[in-house]
Structure 1
Amino acid sequence: MAIKQQQATSDNAQAASDNNSLSDEDGRRIVELGYEPVFKREFGRLSSFSFAFSISGLYATIATTFIYGLQAGGAPALVWCWLIAGSGCMCIALSVAELVSAYPTSGGLYFTLKYLVPTERVPLTSWLCGWLNLLGQVAGVASADYGCSQLLLAAISMGTEFHYQPTAGHTVGVMAAIIFLHGFINSLSTKWLDRITKCPKIAVYWVFSDK
């Protein structure tokens, strides 16, 4: 047990060292771009991966859309759609990852357009990118939380042997509560968000460690 604790301490120290080096490197890159670093960089590799994984909304999006593929083409349609669409999405993900790593600033693609688009087209392209990103965020959060609400109420209905039947009002109400909860969590400081993303790692370590 003591050896595992020492190993965990060593891993945490190494992670902190890696995060500091990455932060310093990003800070120098921002200065080269003509900006002064003002945000605290408190997300490590695990936190960054957790946020990237959670923003895809796997729990509330995949489960709620399985029925359409099954009805349209059955299991083969789901498999081929996943392979084809997944390959295209992976190309986009790799391209975006390359861009945001080259320009480590807030704003993401909205900012990188300044360097990738011809000068005369930057205002219009940035305007379109900003509004499309905003609409995508609003629609994405609403659809993911609505699907999450449906799944939660369906689980409750099955748990009561279908004596409880959720209504549209119940679904919207639970959706609003989930949106409020998500808004509260995302309003926390990056320090607390980093700690929240480490909870699964701590739980896994506790389960597999000696009592």
Structure 2
Amino acid sequence: MGQKVHPTGFRLGIAEEWRSRWYASKKDFGKLLVEDQKIRQFIKKKYQFAGIPKIEIERTRDQVVLLLHTSRPGILIGRKGQEVDKLKAELEDLTGRRMELKIKEINAPMRNAKLVADDIAQQLLKRGSFRRAMKRSLDQVMEAGVYGVKIQISGRLGGAEMSRTEKATRGSVPLSTLRRRIDYGLTEALTPQGIIGIKVWIDLGDITEEDNTDGTNAKTGQASKKPKKTHKR
């Protein structure tokens, strides 16, 4: 009997931060929670090719602050910031609240599970082989300097009549160790044969290591590398 726990929710408050950070009364909480979901769905649908794996929302009394993590900030910003102003106006019309947008670039996209899953989905939509896509992604993620990666693809793989699940792993991905920062991403590829689900787990190391959530070193801003093992003779 398999009992699965969501890797992000399991580590909230320990190795992961809350995606929505605000306080509301019992009467307003549900309404604001639905509003957060509408904002996320609107941005992801409008900018699905901008590489936005995470949207953080903070609220004050009179405005909403959005922090958009993206691997392609140029698409979001636009020429002379026109795209940002347009998105801000559309979100204000959607919610009726004053918006403030902040954009944070992801320097190491292959260390982000959601972006890796999106990349595999794009390859499957182009009728690429799922085995080749998995192997290529595994190699690229391990080259980015992580401790381990696991990829799971489910659906009518290769146009087969019956759906099945394929898994591939490199390195170690300890899902039950709370001090490990396990990045998790889920994407669905809408192929002509049906929906194919792609799940990715990436082990970014212990929470004691001075890394940001986007996989970059907090001091230098560069992509962190896995320390080399030394062998004693």
What is the TM-score normalised by the length of structure 2?
0.20
Q: Which has the higher contact order (CA 8 A, sep 6+)?
A: 1
Which structure has the bigger radius of gyration? 1
Flag the structure with higher strand content. 2
Flag the structure with higher helix content. 1
What is the TM-score normalised by the length of structure 1?
0.22
